[in-house]
Structure 1
């Protein structure tokens, strides 16, 4: 298996991140809501990175990229809406279509869980996934997330919420 590296997003990632997002745009938009068209430019991605790094400095966001052996970005993963008082955050990740099936989403999610526990001392993570995104649901379940009960008033096709108790996940390992 090709070696991969998960690392924090850097301000110098604009060109590489833009390439990753443009190449995979159609693929991503087939699974999640699309980004604003203005995002897909050096300025748009640069502003995006600046915003993420600003939120990282504030302690409410922790952005990562996944690189292959040639240092090409093949995925992203984030802890977002970090709430230290509640001990919780939301996770998000996306993997290039060309890199699917290599365990990168699981690698990224395990990295997020580790960072949430060690760096941020969080006790709960949540994720939202559309029902038709079977791959992401499987990754979440593989990493210990459980789906919350589907509420009777929820609309069909609405995102489902998955939850992980980090303390419980650690004691189960």
Structure 2
């Protein structure tokens, strides 16, 4: 499946909210829920505006992953960007309809490519022990599994 990344902007708030609502039950099978208020437009908008402020100062970047029809099928983020340490954390979530189609792997590849161009040489990601699909995505993108005790300083 061909995809592209589009950086989150204020004009996008309705579509990501719809994506999150449509996939809420699916996401909550493998990751902790975000609470009921997250899905109210006012709360969601406030949270997204905070994320955009992080983008402006270069701390984090948030992307919608879209198919060639322009439909959001996933989200991928680089957070806690530290240019001095040349590291960042990668986070992503793929909607149920796009799950198992290589979207996460490709989205992480696109994000990693962009980060390399910006001089970032270390990436971190974490997943739950039960999320085998996410573990495979990370391993297929060159991430090495470490014990949480080994990375307390980065959590």
Matches within 5 A, 1:53-68: 53-68=52-67
Q: Deviations 1:129-159 (Å, cap 9, x if unpaired)? A: 11100000000000000001464xx9xxxxx
* 1:134 aligned partner: 132
The change in CA–CA distance for 1:126 and 1:95 in structure 2 (over 3 A counts) is same
CA RMSD of superposed structures (Å): 1.8
Aligned to 1:80: 79
Partner of 1:101: 100
Judge conservation of contact 1:17–1:45 (CA < 8 Å) in 2.
no
* Higher relative contact order (CA closer than 8 Å, sequence separation 6+): 2
- For 1:168, the equivalent position in structure 2 comes to none
- Please report the TM-score for the alignment, with normalisation by the length of structure 2: 0.91
Task: Report SS of the residue matched to 1:98.
Answer: helix
Gaps of 5+ in 2: none
CA positional deviation for 1:116: 1.4
Which runs of 5 or more residues in structure 1 are unaligned?
155-159, 162-173
Separation in 2, partners of 1:94, 1:30: 12
Q: Find the partner of 1:123 among 121, 135, 138.
A: 121
Runs of 4+ in 1 over 3 A off after TM superposition: none
- Residue 35 of structure 1 is matched in structure 2 by 34
Separation in 2, partners of 1:9, 1:123? 24
Residue of structure 2 in register with 1:170 after alignment: none
Q: Distance in 2 between matches of 1:85 and 1:31?
A: 33
Deviation, 1:51, is: 1.1
State the aligned residue count.
152
